[in-house]
Amino acid sequence: MSSLRLKSCVAGLLLATTATFAQADTLRVVPTAPLQILDPLSTTAYITRDHGFMVYDTLFGTDLEGKVHPEMVEKYAVDEAATTWTFTLREGLAFHDGSPVTSADAIASLQRWQSKDTLGGKMKARTTAMTAVDDRTFQIKLSAPFGPMLTALGKPSAIVPFIMPKAVIDEAGSGPITKIIGSGPFKFVANEFKPGERAVYVKNEAYKPRSEPASGTSGGKVVKLDKVEWIFLKDAQTAVNALRNKEIDYIDQPSYEQVADLQKDPNIDIVNRPLSLSFVMRFNTLTPPFNDLRVRRAAMLAVNQDAVLKVQIGVPGAYQSCASVYPCGTIYSSTPDNYTGKPNFAEARKLLAEAKYDGTPIVILDAPEVRVQSKTAPMMSALLQQAGFKTQLLPLDWASWLQKRTNTAPAKDGGWNLFIAAWSPYDLTVPISSAPLTANGRAGWPGWFEDAQVEALLGQFINAPDLPEQKAIATKIQTRILEQGAIAPLGQADQFSVMRKGSLEGLLPRIASTVFWNVSVTGK
């Protein structure tokens, strides 16, 4: 796109909302990525998750310490056998169309979520029935105790068990939902949505926040804004200029090249979230050449975490290598003995020769418009070439990238071979909720790794009686995942958000998603 055309598009997006610009009750945000997929259960993309938290509510929420608290639920109980859970919804909950939130909606939402989410799938395997006792009370009956029940219902990141109207779910059938109707703190304005460019949310006047203080995704979601506008600006410098010119109020993630300059600006507040991002390289194990373990191992031997992080992040002190499949410093992390995150190109070439790799280019999915990972794919492409691979970068807009990675076909028929994903550490900390650790083939995360041993270990983890046993099993899972080349960890990094100094009040520290309840705009 030419510079003139880009400036015209940006001006159009900003002018589209000048009528509300002067109002102190409107917040304008440049999000981390363009919003194009609206169904938060159809993708693990974080921008869609963040959209979900604007519109929908959850039965439970998770605070900053990782503790789970009731949100839409008024009370709950579990029997002595821990196989029958009873939940009662808060009185007066209503969807944005005015219809009441009922047990039938909660049950339909949970059943749909169980079919989409990694942890939900584990819960589904033990669920024998979900039944409504009355309009506000429902039960979940299990074949065996499921220890992480509340953790699952209150998970704050992809895929979140958002509560939706049963009618909307029924209308969608097996496809994505098309009507965005929640019961959360903001309403989605469908007629102002421009995919990949602009999304608008207005205050849900009927929302009834809890009385407890807000923390993470739990507590009282008090809405102090009349409107929140998401405006995605592809050009990072244009976004910063718009912030300084008071055309937008908040950038959820500037480019890393801008951080040093922004840190020196006395008129800018910058929020640093230490090691809040983990990078993972994923292989398509269904098709050549990565259906051969030797080729996957060769690619893992091409990894140079320090080089990838230096190129992608570059901010001194804002990244660290981490070879564990669990974020370093978290409860289950340990140093593996079968993966270092450091290159051994000579050994990689030996494995490729042994596997008779024929030089067919590896198709690498690339998402240049997503700032937190825009340089990871090109850097890994260069490293893979040093290891003896031929590579082909496939740059795509974010929606096309997300769609392409669901394609199970061989690369020559429109599929792919490898991609790199940026994850919140929260999503990777516990093995049973980590999508990259799924080993159930086509039912799992794109890449479709299948391994009965890993799946058995995940089942053992759920049944583990105490933390030492859980840690021992988690280590076995890590060893097997790396041994079989399901993923290759690429390290961790900080994330940054910026705003004009003193321009926002009440922005909550995030556990995963940036949330905009409790936030007010001062006009500075």
Tens digit of each residue's pLDDT (9 = 90 or more) over 109-156: 999 999 999 999 999 999 999 999 999 999 999 999 999 999 999 999
pLDDT value of residue 2 = 40
Question: At 7, is the pLDDT very low, low, confident or very high (cuts 50, 70, 90)?
Answer: very low
pLDDT at 6 over 80: no
Please state the rounded mean pLDDT for residues 55-77.
Answer: 96
- The pLDDT mean for the chain works out to 93
pLDDT value of residue 523 = 75
Strands 162-163 and 487-500: unpaired
The fold adopted by the segment(s) 274-495 is: Dipeptide-binding Protein; domain 3 (3.10.105)
Please state the rounded mean pLDDT for residues 338-364.
Answer: 98
353-390 as b/e: b if 16+ CB within 10 A? eebebeeeebbbbbbbbbbbbbbbbbbbbebbeebbbe
What are 424-463's pLDDT values in tens digits?
A: 998 999 999 999 999 999 999 999 999 999 999 999 999 9
**Token digits for 19?**
């009528």
Please state the rounded mean pLDDT for residues 217-239.
Answer: 96
Please state the rounded mean pLDDT for residues 44-65.
Answer: 95
Nearest to 339 by CA among 281, 423, 285: 281
Please state the rounded mean pLDDT for residues 191-219.
Answer: 96
**Do 26-234+503-521 and 274-495 have matching folds?**
no
C-alpha angle 293-294-298 in degrees, rounded to nearest 5: 115
The domain covering 26-234+503-521 belongs, at the CATH homologous superfamily level, to Periplasmic binding protein-like II (3.40.190.10)
pLDDT value of residue 19 = 43
pLDDT at 18 over 50: no
> Where are the chain's structural domains?
26-234+503-521, 274-495
> Considering the chain, what percentage of its residues have pLDDT values greater than 90?
91
pLDDT at 20 over 60: no
> CA 460 to CA 462: how far, in whole Å?
5
Classified as helix, coil or strand, 122 is helix
pLDDT value of residue 15 = 47
